[in-house]
Amino acid sequence: MNYLLTHSITESAKRFPERQAFVFMNRSLSYKELEQQSNQLANLLIDLGVKKGDRVGIYMNRSLESSIAVYGIMKAGAAYVPLDPDAPIKRTQFLIEDCEIEVLITNSIKKRQVKEIIDAKTQLKSCIGFKDGLTINTIPWEEVLQQSEETPSISILGNDLAYIMYTSGSTGLPKGIMHSHNSGLAYAKLSADLYELTEEDRIGNHAPLHFDISTFGYFTGPFVGATTVIIPDPHTKMPASLAQLIEKEQLSIWYSVPLALVQLLQSKSIEKADMSALRWVLYGGEVFPTKHLNALMQIWPSCQFSNVYGPAEVNQCTYYTVQEPPKEDEMIPLGKVWGNTEKLILNQDDGLAKRGEVGELLIRSATMMKGYWNQSELTKKSLYTLRINSTYKKVFYRTGDLVKLDENNDLLFLGRKDRQIKIRGYRVELDEVVGVLSINTAVHEAAVFAITKEGTVHIAAVIILKEEGLITVEELRDHLNQNLPKYAVPETILIGKQLPRTSNGKINHLELEKTLEIEEE
Amino acid sequence: MKEELIAYIKSELIGDDTMEMNSEDDLLTSGLIDSLAIMRFIGHIEATHEIKVAPQDMVIENFINVDAIADYIQRTKNS
């Protein structure tokens, strides 16, 4: 019976041993090879002392080995923690310490960064991916392939931890979203069913491993025995090469943030390439500008287009298939909740919102997280309990997204309840940026807010120094670059004299936004 | 030309003038430059070298490292 994420590989290896499981550049792994090599990695991890429930980091760019890492770690009974390979070292160190990672799986491209992490004295004990004279145990990838191919005999249950994904936290530090085999597999089953996946499909996986969109390629593909093509980093930056790859690999399903598709569209190479194998385009993470969605739907008329919505805490929770190329000002709905999922729309007083009234969306689903790693208070705050009687209750996740139902009973997204924004699909808590600025000793106070320039959202910061001339804008930018991922660093940084206040003394973000948007024009 | 390109990448795209970079270093795999920085870089190349980078020229072979970029600029100028 299939009740763990790892069972997908074992089952598919029995049914389709020679079928490609993952493809990267000119290399691929069949299901049989993936089953063997993930067992080998699991056995090595167990030899290194990894126990059930431990967290193991994956620190690598898009690569074929990432698939072995994901499944090898879970087969050892541990949870995988994907680390952003481009994040500043300080942030990576924080994540390693926060969830007590002792073993890191990486490759030789990251050698320099791994050395910096080790120099900072984390609790890291071993590193798999290259051999080097570092102070910790380093094991080259070839050694993984010398281990036993036997499936490790570890008792793992569906409710056990499978992976932790970190996202921006409003308190100034990232938070880890914990998912079990149950919630990950529920997502794989529901998405396979909804998008009618079969073993014949070839999935284009554009998202990096630390972005939750990657679970479609990494979990749903293997669940049905399909092939997942990992889009290499260079192709994500060169749209004309990406178009060639989609044609060459005969991709049938694509899932990414809208930006990747917009760049593809603008490269004009899309019309020349033969992409007739493509049958379904999924996009998520942020709103697709209707002008571009319209153009794309005209070019690929035989393709289905679906808007995917769901915070990483619940994987996915609603679906909407776009029937006709949308008009310029049309709002694409989030759609309806999918299987095994229930929703509530609550008003400010936690009462049920009336029909057509705007409220916060709450979700209860089989795909829901276990909570935030090591943050019970934050977990409690993110949940809403509906008591049915003294022994039975329903627990919902508060998405923080403001929605209302339209006349077709489809959910419409109308904004955020808090100060979270999306930059290229990545979640950024503006207060995390404030938190990072505040730890700089020269900063007295900082206001961070979003502004819209030519239809694109940017982050801006206005900073009041403790004393004039203590620090320059350039030095502040360096400080931010050292502590935040690139997408979260404000594009506009200004040093000001004072911040505008509302009548009750709070920073008046609205006025700041207005002033800056006028200046930018 | 290669020195100018390297200097621009270091100071404007990465924001670290002190780092070491050679003209054969892979710019696209390493994560040094993201897709938005690439767009800025192409704008810079078009402005300083008075060429037009056609959308279909945005392929890995032309932009993998500074050597390839310099070669591409030269070819485009001559054509």
Helix (H) or strand (E) holding B47: helix B35-49
Among A416, A441, A456, give the residue marking a domain's end.
A416
| CA A147 distance to own-chain centroid | 32
3-state SS class at A156:
coil
Residues A410 and A437 in one domain: no
Task: Give the nearest partner residue to A268 out of B30, B56, B63, using CB atoms.
Answer: B56
Same domain, A381 and A430: no
Provide the pLDDT for residue A356: 85
Residue of A238, A457, A477, A481 to mutate, interface with B, max B Cβ within 10 Å: A238
Token duo for residue A188: 């794989």
What residue in A sits closest to B34 (Cα-Cα)?
A237
Question: In this structure, is residue A3 part of a structural domain?
Answer: no
CB contact (8 A) between residue B38 and residue A238: yes
Residues of A in contact with B34 (CB under 8 A): 86, 237, 486
Integer angstrom CA distances of residue A91 from A85, A181, A476, B17, B18: 11, 27, 17, 22, 22
CA A74 to CA A63: how far, in whole Å? 18
Q: What is the pLDDT of residue B64?
A: 92
- A432 shares a domain with A409: no
- A324 belongs to a structural domain: no
Q: Looking at this protein, which amino acid is placed at residue A476?
A: L
Chain A contact present for B64, CB below 8 A:
yes
Report d(CA A3, CA A452) in Å as an integer.
Answer: 45
Contacts of B58 in chain A (CB under 8 A): 238-241, 267, 269
CATH number of the domain where residue A365 is located: 2.30.38.10
* Residues in B touching A483 (Cβ below 8 Å): none
- Tokens for A105, please give them: 């799986």
| Contact assignment for B55 to A241 by CB distance below 8 Å | no
Q: Which residues of A touch B35 (CB under 8 A)?
A: 236-237, 259, 263
Whether A351 maps to a domain, the answer reads yes
Q: Is B19 on the interface with A (CB under 8 A)?
A: no
Give the helix ranges, DSSP H, for A83-238: 89-98, 111-119, 141-144, 181-194, 214-215, 221-224, 233-237
ipTM: 0.88
Residue of A nearest to B55 (CA): A267
- Using CB atoms, which residue from A85, A86, A233 is nearest to B28? A233
Contact B28 A234 (CB under 8 A): yes
Q: Are A203 and A80 in contact (CB under 8 A)?
A: no
Looking at CA atoms only, how far is residue A390 from chain B in angstroms?
A: 53
Asked if the Cβ–Cβ distance from A86 to B34 is below 8 Å, we say yes
Nearest C-alpha neighbor of A289 from the set A336, A316, A315, A327: A327
| Domain assignments of chain B as residue spans, ordered by start | 2-78
Residue in A85, A239, A259 nearest the CB of B58:
A239
For residues A411 and A444, state if they share a domain. no
What residues in B contact A237, CB-CB < 8 Å? 28, 33-35, 38, 63
Query: So what's the pLDDT on residue A518?
Result: 66
The residue from A416, A444, A468 where one domain ends is A416
One DSSP character per residue, A197-236 reads --TT-EEEE-S-TTSTTHHIIIIIHHHHT-EEEEPPHHHH
Q: Does B47 touch chain A (CB under 8 A)?
A: no
Rg of chain B, C-alpha, whole Å: 12
Contacts of A478 in chain B (CB under 8 A): 15
- Tell if the CB–CB gap between A234 and B56 is shorter than 8 Å: no
Shortest distance, CA B73 to any CA of chain A (angstroms): 17
Closest alpha carbon within chain A to B35:
A237
User: Distance between CA A383 and CA A399 in Å, rounded?
Assistant: 9
CATH of the domain at A427: 3.30.300.30
pLDDT in 10s for each residue of chain A, 521 residues: 899 999 999 999 999 999 999 999 999 999 999 999 999 999 999 999 999 999 999 999 999 999 999 999 999 999 999 999 989 999 999 999 999 999 999 998 888 889 999 887 778 999 999 998 788 999 999 999 999 999 999 999 999 999 999 999 888 889 999 999 999 999 999 999 999 999 999 999 999 999 999 999 999 999 999 999 999 999 999 999 999 999 999 999 999 999 999 989 988 888 888 999 999 999 999 889 899 999 999 999 999 999 999 999 999 999 999 999 999 888 999 999 999 999 999 999 999 999 889 999 999 999 999 999 999 999 999 999 999 999 999 999 999 999 999 999 999 999 999 999 999 889 999 999 999 999 999 999 999 999 888 778 899 999 999 988 899 999 999 999 999 998 999 999 999 888 888 777 788 888 888 877 766 55
Distance from CA of B57 to the nearest CA of A (A): 7
Q: H or E element: which one contains A260?
A: helix A258-266
List the single residue in B with minimal CA-CA distance to A263.
Answer: B35
- pLDDT at position A53: 97
If asked whether residues A395 and A412 sit together in one domain, one would say yes
Judgement on whether residues A361 and A427 belong to the same structural domain of the protein: no
**Is residue A298 in some structural domain?**
no
Q: Which residue has the tokens 């279909």?
A: B56
Within an 8 Å CB–CB cutoff, is residue B11 touching chain A?
A: no
CA distance A245 to chain B (A): 11
Q: How far apart are CA A368 and CA A159, in angstroms?
A: 11
Residue A199 to residue A205: CA distance in whole angstroms: 16
Query: Beta-carbon neighbour count of residue A53 at 10 Å?
Result: 11
Residue A458 falls inside a structural domain: yes
Q: Do B56 and A267 touch (CB under 8 A)?
A: yes
What is the pLDDT, as a whole number, of residue B35?
A: 78
Residue A466 and residue A384 share a domain: no
Instruction: Supply the range of the domain harboring residue A479.
Output: 420-520
Count: domains in chain A: 2
Residues of chain A whose beta carbon is less than 8 angstroms from a beta carbon of chain B are 61, 85-86, 109, 232-241, 244, 259, 263, 266-269, 272, 424, 477-478, 481, 486
Distance between A502 CA and the closest CA of chain B, angstroms? 36
Residues B13-62: tens digit of each pLDDT:
887 788 888 899 888 887 778 877 888 899 999 999 999 998 888 899 99
**A427 contacts A167 by C-beta, under 8 angstroms:** yes
CB A496 within 8 A of CB A511: no
Structure tokens at A245: 């790859």
A301 occurs within a structural domain = no
| B52 contact residues in A (CB cutoff 8 A) | none
Name the domain boundary from A401, A416, A431.
A416
Distance to chain A for B31, nearest Cα, Å: 6
Domain assignment of residue A447, yes or no? yes
Query: In Å, how far is B11's CA from the nearest CA of chain A?
Result: 12
Is some CB atom of chain A closer than 8 A to the CB atom of B63?
A: yes
Fold designation for B2-78: 1.10.1200
Q: Pick the residue from chain B with its C-alpha nearest to A112.
A: B30
pLDDT of residue A266: 86
With an 8 Å Cβ cutoff, are B55 and A477 in contact?
no
Comparing alpha-carbon positions, the chain B residue that sits nearest to A234 is: B28
Q: Nearest-CA distance from A508 to chain B in Å?
A: 31
Question: Beta strand pairing status for A55-59 and A79-82?
Answer: parallel
Beta bridge partners of residue A180, listed in sequence order: A161
